[in-house]
Amino acid sequence: MAGGDDRNPVIEVEGLRMAYGDVEVLRGVTLRAERGEVLALLGPNGAGKTTTMEILEGLRRRSGGSVTVLGCDPERADERWRGRIGIVLQSWRDHSRWLTGELVRHMARYHDHPKDPEEVLSDLGLAPLAGREVRTLSGGQRRRLDLALALVGDPELIFLDEPTTGLDPAARRQFHDLIAELSGKGVTVLITTHDLAEAERLANRVAILSGGQIAATGTMSEFAARARTALVRWVEDGDAREREVDDPAGLVVELHARLGGSVPGLEVRRQSLEETYLAVMGAGR
């Protein structure tokens, strides 16, 4: 599908609040995702990531704030709206005795304009497994089936809640490639993950949820600029040297001038997303 109005954000959240009795889980979350964007929502356990996702999916009523997803308030959305989204949960009730292909074909019947189930099975490498019961699938195969069930309705927006938990490295890489392909076709993806390397590889932007609020949001380059520092290593007079600086380009120019040409052993390493994440979380305490 991946159509809609490209001028409007797919997800727009302002001042989202969620309280359970006296416990306030979300305290004014503001979030935005554009069409075709992969947005990663990061945060420690208990930060409210899954609660945020459930509110956006229309599975949980919020305490306050405004939420618009695909132009609708999820609390008032109808079945036609639900057909425009796909959801991959951390875990759900297993359809263990269904045949893999039969389950995908069955789910396709709930949508007005589904994708061809056989094409979905083929694209996700499930065609050879179509005649097998779901309970016989490996963890990686089951995760691919979860994605097939989310994709068969041809959604414009996909929610992925810790989608690669328990996958082996090969299955994880394959899953990453699938997400990148979907984004390239204009599908918007909101993903929660504890894996910072995964977020760095997949996401166009990252939002860090801490203390019930968005502590920081931005692209990878914007996070690098936020942290600012970079480690510059080089060799001078036979000795290995290093310096942490805000302006690595300036130091490199200085070294070129001082050493009269190329700089032996030059290496510039910017902060990783993990280092930036830890810095943001530390600043928020």
Residue 128 confidence (pLDDT) above 90 = yes
Q: At residue 168, what is the residue type?
A: D
Q: How far apart are CA 114 and CA 240, in angstroms?
A: 60
* Helical spans, DSSP H, in the chain: 49-56, 79-82, 100-108, 117-123, 139-151, 169-184, 196-202, 220-227, 248-259, 273-283
Q: 11-223 has which CATH code? A: 3.40.50.300
Condensed to tens digits (0 to 9), the pLDDT of residues 87-122 reads 988 766 567 889 999 999 999 999 989 999 999 999
Q: Tell me which residue has tokens 């009269």.
A: 260
pTM attached to this predicted model: 0.78
The two beta strands, 38-42 and 205-210, are parallel
Residue 259 confidence (pLDDT) above 70 = yes
Residue 185 confidence (pLDDT) above 80 = yes
| 23 pLDDT tier (thresholds 50, 70, 90) | very high
Classify the phi-psi angles of 224: left when phi > 0, otherwise alpha if psi is within -120 to 50, otherwise beta: alpha
Token duo for residue 79: 């079945």
Residue 136 confidence (pLDDT) above 60 = yes
pLDDT of residue 62: 97
Give the residue extent of every domain in the chain: 11-223, 228-271
Q: How far apart are CA 151 and CA 108, in angstroms?
A: 9
pLDDT of residue 240: 94
Residue 154 confidence (pLDDT) above 80 = yes
pLDDT of residue 256: 92
Residue 253 confidence (pLDDT) above 60 = yes
Q: Note whether 273 and 203 are within 8 A (CB).
A: no
Four-residue CA torsion sign, 135, 143, 77, 64: positive
